[in-house]
Structure 1
């Protein structure tokens, strides 16, 4: 074939994707801000393709190859399956697949994108699309020993994509031959294998103990918003390094855990699409209703649902809207599942948007040296973290002004290294969690931290054995701690002249400071340095009300959802909720708070 003939290879499916891009950018098709940004990014990349600064080119033929494979796969559900039809990629689907398959390094030919994140409401054909991607990477991509994993928060969810691929392989026909025969597949109940003995496609769940040790060529993560823990994503992402051109792809609907791994990936993609951060290896699409859209407007429905009028009917959306409009409880579900709007319904007692609004990564604790503050301590020795939070009230208005918090979190090394705690290990490697050897935390670490913050570090730990020597000292008004495990260190603090008050964990004690924390976050008055551990704990914190009373107290959904840092913050805020003092003397303050602590 001549060079001229090679250039003229027909690419009808990729052309369909390009038409979709044109329709989005010309406003011919109702589209949200984020979809437009993804299309603009593609257009901008085409203009700079093949340069020294951007050594990638868009290979139309490679993109068409992956798209054409997808369109050779059978529908497995509904009327299309009954008629024996194969998949026809909609414009947005053709765009997604062509972006993954088409962008290549201009010298090596290696695929550009290693990670893809796609947010789209339910019933837009997510699982079918992912199943086809998995089969492509398993077979015709040509990777020796290709391993493909369908990973999810539960075995049931992980099986959805795998089972779709399994049914496709068993029911498909190509040129009168069975698809599994054409592709050389051996389809089992729990695995799909090829003629390559090292290749396989299987489901992996969050609770599976053998997630580590994988070597994925393609890792598919379905409904990432359901992942309460980040272990699946992190273990798959960290395992990609052994492959030349792997893919980690997540397609999900919106959720409500804005402190989880899914929202983290969403925010990362938003920075890329906004142009504030550059990552040429990361592809993403978000389909959602725009801010200010009427949730009952069919135009908003079309923005969020690119498969509307095809895989998802207008009648179905109308029926779902009627249910949502009649029930406040159903509205949150409609917003999340059909308009891709993140809500906090059913999750954190703390508004995570307000929490993030108070984040300022430029805050440095050394800038607060000598400032008046309160310290809250929540102690544990084995499975839960021990957390210390220092709160600096506003100097001009301590009761109602903004407050600034810093936090420290400590755990036994054995807990950090345990399977399923990859998120803890990651934070420990960044210095956000401090550990002591073994299965039980040495609480002298926490004792020394508080002594350092109170200005007694040099006397208590002259050789800086616990590593807190670089921290500044403050004018600590009070240390508020829970009773458990604190007897020895409380005696140490008392001997050093530190005012330390025991606050027992009961609703009567936590109600006011918990309400104060919630209100400060809501009003964007709770400022912090963005500590990822404390943010995770804030997202885990649920609100429970005492039966028959008005008191509230913090709780969590599951044992692995740690909230100890929030408990410590509540302790630190407790003094600010007490009666105003009419005497500034140290002696009066001591006797006043000592009497309150006895309650």
Structure 2
């Protein structure tokens, strides 16, 4: 086994000479360590190579992987992981206790955050140096079930380690040290903001998991964990997370503070001297230190270094320090391919795999993409299926019907992973809409573009616009065989029921993330691939340009949904079109004018 000092020094040298690809924040973390080796003694700090080496060697000596291809193999830290443990356990204060009381570690998914955090938790539970009797160690998250992910991994690793089992007993909800253990009366427990008790803490260590998901209502737990270690000699609060969005207020606060620590490490009185920061992400746009010198290789004389291209594979290691071992190249390429098909996919890729701040709201359809989709319609009598939808818009002044015709291209759909035909037909779609507005609406319909849309009959004006919509739905069924219609039951249940005696099928389309994520993602992908066509409908184009999406991640996975409240103006026509597209996309072949939803 390679000596830890050699392993870490190889990483340090590679980062500094550029042979290891890193973002500037990771480079700052390495530079800070090297700088402090020469200067930190003036602030009462020193580095203990023996303690740092023993901590790194403890991982493969005492722990085994419990999942995936490395199951049952020793937990050997990668070079960048070893650097983190080297710094956390090696830097000491004058009294011999650890220098760092807070650690902020952020990088892309699949780096091994949970394994490293669980391992550090077990190390601090069983054999901290100096020892800490009665150590209380917690793994905390927004919910106890989330906290159990890291803690469950720690339980499995402890249970599979004869060395650790000599020291601990693994219980259903905690890991406790045995009588006579090196650190007796100590425990390691999961904790969520929904846990029954979070008072009476005397925290020796805590792992705070995925704080980008911590909202303002979790601040109480955050404050307790960060203030409950005043009587401990060398507490350690470890925050592990991927990036957040503009609603992740707590994450933004911690991330901003950590960046300031890295920026100021050379100051005479450096900020956050008790904080360790490892921030692996793609580099953002920033001023160049050249002063806009002509020919500068960094900024090309502009004075500003552009942000890293998320689709350039050379940049992926900046956010994923173990790439391409984990995550694997194939996985990242698949994620990047999906990201190029839709704003929702790009949001996910940049946030979780490039580890950069994203907006929770994204413009759904870019103007150039919509323009490229314009063309003449086919004869809809040749369509394989035609479906409709309506959007009442709640209390809004605009309502709309959306239409989608599906055409069989005669080709087979291709599996994106295998490149082989799936046996399912490949379809293309044509979409249109018509709007309805009440004569008493506050809109000035005499002004453009509203007056143009009225003249072009893209917008119908009526004192009884809801009844006009109903008659139009019936006409579309009679003339174009549009029998199946999607609707939001929250605001138009009675409208739907009034159509059923006419033989029209109405399908509930709830306005929630579970209902919207898949259809809107597929619609945007088909639009970008040239499989969706519109005829230049001005009202629909305006609505498509207005639509923004709210993106995020919940326990069930990623979600994406149109955001009416934060879109710059009305989006009802495009919402109705996507609902109609959803029905058309799942219709069995040859179902035009027939019932197909049961």
What range describes the TM-score normalised by the shorter chain of this pair?
Answer: 0.5 to 0.7
Aligned match of 2:273: 280
Distance 1:257 1:189 in 2: 37
Deviation at residue 137 of structure 1 after TM alignment: 0.7
C-alpha spacing 1:289/1:551, structure 2 compared with 1 (3 Å): closer
Given candidates 144, 152, 156, the residue that maps to 1:163 is 152
Contact kept, 8 Å, 2:204 with 2:235, in 1: the verdict is yes
**1:290 maps onto 2:276 in alignment:** no
Mapping 1:441-460, distance limit 5 Å? none
Aligned match of 2:8: 17
Deviation at residue 345 of structure 1 after TM alignment: 2.1
Aligned match of 1:382: none
Mapping 1:529-568, distance limit 5 Å? 544-545=564-565, 550=570
Distance 1:347 1:247 in 2: 37
C-alpha spacing 1:551/1:67, structure 2 compared with 1 (3 Å): same
Contact kept, 8 Å, 2:21 with 2:318, in 1: the verdict is yes
Aligned match of 1:328: 343
Contact kept, 8 Å, 1:545 with 1:551, in 2: the verdict is no
Mapping 1:73-472, distance limit 5 Å? 73-81=63-71, 84-105=72-93, 107-141=94-128, 142-172=131-161, 178-182=162-166, 184-196=167-179, 198-229=185-216, 230-257=219-246, 260-275=249-264, 278-291=271-284, 292-346=307-361
Deviation at residue 65 of structure 1 after TM alignment: 1.3
Deviation at residue 21 of structure 1 after TM alignment: 1.3
Contact kept, 8 Å, 1:11 with 1:61, in 2: the verdict is no
Q: 1:211-240: per-residue Cα shift (whole Å, max 9, x none)?
A: 221111111011111111322221101101
Distance 2:108 2:12 in 1: 20
For 2:237, what is the secondary structure of its paired residue?
strand
Distance 2:105 2:148 in 1: 19
Aligned match of 1:435: none
Deviation at residue 181 of structure 1 after TM alignment: 3.2
Aligned residues: 339
Distance 1:272 1:88 in 2: 29
Given candidates 40, 58, 61, the residue that maps to 2:47 is 58
Aligned match of 1:39: 30
Aligned match of 1:28: 19
C-alpha spacing 1:548/1:104, structure 2 compared with 1 (3 Å): closer
For 1:18, what is the secondary structure of its paired residue?
helix
C-alpha spacing 1:232/1:301, structure 2 compared with 1 (3 Å): same
Deviation at residue 179 of structure 1 after TM alignment: 3.1
Deviation at residue 259 of structure 1 after TM alignment: 5.3
Distance 2:252 2:567 in 1: 33
Aligned match of 1:70: 59
For 2:272, what is the secondary structure of its paired residue?
coil
The two structures have a TM-score, normalised by structure 1, of 0.54
C-alpha spacing 1:549/1:298, structure 2 compared with 1 (3 Å): closer
Distance 2:189 2:13 in 1: 38
**Where in structure 1 are there 5+ consecutive unaligned residues?**
1-9, 173-177, 349-541, 553-599
Contact kept, 8 Å, 2:8 with 2:82, in 1: the verdict is yes
Contact kept, 8 Å, 1:257 with 1:347, in 2: the verdict is no
Contact kept, 8 Å, 1:256 with 1:344, in 2: the verdict is yes
Deviation at residue 548 of structure 1 after TM alignment: 13
Contact kept, 8 Å, 2:281 with 2:354, in 1: the verdict is yes
Contact kept, 8 Å, 2:118 with 2:151, in 1: the verdict is yes
For 1:268, what is the secondary structure of its paired residue?
helix
Aligned match of 2:299: none
C-alpha spacing 1:321/1:549, structure 2 compared with 1 (3 Å): closer
Contact kept, 8 Å, 1:115 with 1:247, in 2: the verdict is yes
For 1:241, what is the secondary structure of its paired residue?
coil
Distance 2:567 2:271 in 1: 51
The two structures have a TM-score, normalised by structure 2, of 0.54
Contact kept, 8 Å, 1:217 with 1:247, in 2: the verdict is yes
Distance 1:143 1:257 in 2: 39
Distance 2:312 2:567 in 1: 40
Contact kept, 8 Å, 1:152 with 1:232, in 2: the verdict is no
Deviation at residue 278 of structure 1 after TM alignment: 1.4
